Chain A
Amino acid sequence: MITVGVDSGNKNTKAVVLKDGKVIGKSLILTGFDANESATKAYELALKDAGVTAADVAAVASTGVGRVEVKFAKDNVTEVGSAARGAKFLMPNVNTVIDLGAEEGRAIKLNPDGKIADFAVNEKCAAGAGSFVESMSRALQTTVEEMGPLSMKYSKEVPMNAQCVVFAESEVVSLIHQQTAKEDIARAVHDGISNRVSSMVRRVGMVDDLGLIGGPARNIGLVQSLKDDLAKDITVPEDPDYVSALGAAIYATEIA
């Protein structure tokens, strides 16, 4: 059976084609003005990548902030539902899932059978989401991709007090003026956001093992800060940005 999951995010739209428990195609594009249009495009690209046609697909399920706008989906599943399914599929040992997006973050505690036990969400404040790192990279005049490697080379802990993207931007600028090393600032940025993220994990009650999914999970600096903050190892799957789309594709098999 072939199913497709579409994750309509704030920043990116992702699609995953699943065939009998195997990912055979995927795509990621920027979310445009019209969520449905972006979803359609991502869907078509993923089908092409998998080498199948829409006629072969048994069911499509959507997830993400724009999930109800994806008109061609048979059903939609919440971000928590898709993250839990996708994470458990890729990392069977994981019982606490941290899902970071561009504009929100969530921590999900799973029962051993993979069912959701509890979750906490952090949304509507950019300081607790992936876009925080993006804004700070701009203030540092570098790219998001560079933030991770920079941060891994830090040598000194510098405090960052601002808990708001806007105020943190000014703080980064003044740290630069004080000749603080970029590496140390990058680390401080990651420490700041992981502090906010780990508090969600504490609210749901952390159970081993931990997994991190979502685009920002590609940032090794952020992963390292989170590991240090929680004093735990954290598993990151190979393609962290596609996990929720995969979870939606798994959900689609349940409704096909």
Chain B
Amino acid sequence: MLTLESLTKTFFAGEASEVRALEDVELTIGDGDFVTVIGSNGAGKSTLLKAIVGLVRPEAGRILLDGRDITSDPVHRRAGWFGRIAQDPNDSTCAGMTIEENLAMASKRGRVRGLRRAVTPVLRENFRAALKETGLGLEGRLETRMGLLSGGQRQTIALLMATLANPRLLLLDEHLAALDPKTAELVMGLTDRLVRERRLTTLMITHNMADAIRWGSRLVMMHRGRIIFEAAGAAKAALTVEGLVRKFHEAGHRDLADDRLLLS
């Protein structure tokens, strides 16, 4: 479905501060795949997602969607295919607009926006039902402004927004990172349910190795702009947190001690 061909992105090219955020990244994602992506800070994970949606222009390589080259399409023209939750929770919603307005905008993903009323009674009922299923008790607060919600509530709405219009590919950038363990568990459960119910092809970045192993059908490890390890199916199921940490080590990761601390 989505193919990345030797995707390369360098920030500050030619300068002393040159950063190779993506280097010859090759990745093929098939319909129905659920890929988890792990990698240390600055490995290029977010840049990879941004390149897919068009926020970052790679200087080399191609992005193919169902065989069509979309590498140079502007963000808004490929938006219909992708639902993405950004790493920064503030980026995925409009704080000054209400819950139902945010959801209504997302429900028109990739479609022409005309002069019809955005929040119709039918839509409102759909939103209420979808919110009820999240178990956060937000179904009665459709007209609450987004900015007044907690981080977890906002991320849940962002998740609904990303999945509402059934994107071809769901892109999650550490969408649980800012949540407390209990809320994270809840939102991950909801993510998994939405992905299975709607058979969404998904790419999920996480720093939680246990999550990366537990969820999804494939696992990808990035390091310094490269994909250094992949596992799928039984091989993925057999992975352990310790094993993954060792992989980081093998890749020459120096902050192993720190990582062990973080991951323990």
Are A and B a genuine interacting pair, yes or no?
no
